[in-house]
Amino acid sequence: MVTENVIEVRGLRTQFGSHVVHDGLDIDLRRGEILGVVGGSGTGKSVLLRTIVGLNSPAAGTVRVLGQDVSQLAPLAREALERRWGVMFQDGALFSALTVRENVEVPLRSVPGLTPAQRQSLAELKVSMAGLPWSANGKYPSDLSGGMKKRAGLARALALDPEIVFLDEPTAGLDPIGASAFDRLIVGLRDALNLSVFLVTHDLDTLHACCDRVAVLARGRVLTTGTMAQMLDVDDPWVHEYFHGPRARAATALKE
């Protein structure tokens, strides 16, 4: 069976002034998979996510999403491509002056021909798909718990029925029960909607619960990619410590 890559990054170089974050980085996301992107703090996981969705310009290399080179697209083609992915930023990045439903309606405003009532119904559907109660629709971000904010951010990422969803540390700051509910939600949505998921995380439980493959960032590139089982055999001190350390053992025990 041929595996289709929905994201292909080749030879990526990213830098801020003289600070080189990525140098010769390659990474693929396959259609339908959940790829966990891990690495020490500051290794450039969030910058990679932002670069793939076009919020950072790479110094060199190519980023192809759904077969198209992101940097070569004319504005209209670019907007059309952007409608095929959704991004959930770490803090939810919600507009504080808008209710949850209005936040989810924002991307829907770009869809021609939708009446306000249709937009509202679609937004309410996404809010419920993200596991929020009906009452959350009318709440403002300041009235939400951290977990609810993340679900609202996820609802907005799902607004346009994307093929790819980017999640930046979706379980950071959640209590363990909330985090594992979020893990189940991610897998359930992937299965139901055939999403491809690019998931930046530090959470070993999430890697076990959700990810088909893991990509480890270190020293400016992807050091290794594989299943969780394959990670256990990687002969690199950081990777070994990460996947064999006490937290990893606890996560493995929990999974078993």
Ligand X SMILES: Nc1ncnc2c1ncn2[C@@H]1O[C@H](COP(=O)(O)OP(=O)(O)OP(=O)(O)O)[C@@H](O)[C@H]1O
Q: Which residues bind ligand X (CB under 6 A)?
A: 16, 21, 39, 41-47
The residue (of 107 and 220) whose beta carbon lies closer to ligand X is 220
The residue (of 43 and 99) whose beta carbon lies closer to ligand X is 43
Q: How far is the CB of 13 from ligand X (least distance, A)?
A: 13
C-alpha–C-alpha distance, residues 213 and 35, integer Å: 5
> Is the CB of residue 129 less than 8 Å from the CB of residue 152?
no
Cβ count within 10 A of residue 204: 22
Q: How far is the CB of 44 from ligand X (least distance, A)?
A: 4
The residue (of 89 and 182) whose beta carbon lies closer to ligand X is 89
The residue (of 43 and 196) whose beta carbon lies closer to ligand X is 43
Q: How far is the CB of 20 from ligand X (least distance, A)?
A: 9
C-alpha–C-alpha distance, residues 42 and 73, integer Å: 30
- Tokens at 1, concatenated: 């069976």
C-alpha–C-alpha distance, residues 247 and 16, integer Å: 33
- Tokens at 99, concatenated: 């209710």
Q: How far is the CB of 19 from ligand X (least distance, A)?
A: 6
Q: How far is the CB of 116 from ligand X (least distance, A)?
A: 36
The residue (of 200 and 231) whose beta carbon lies closer to ligand X is 200
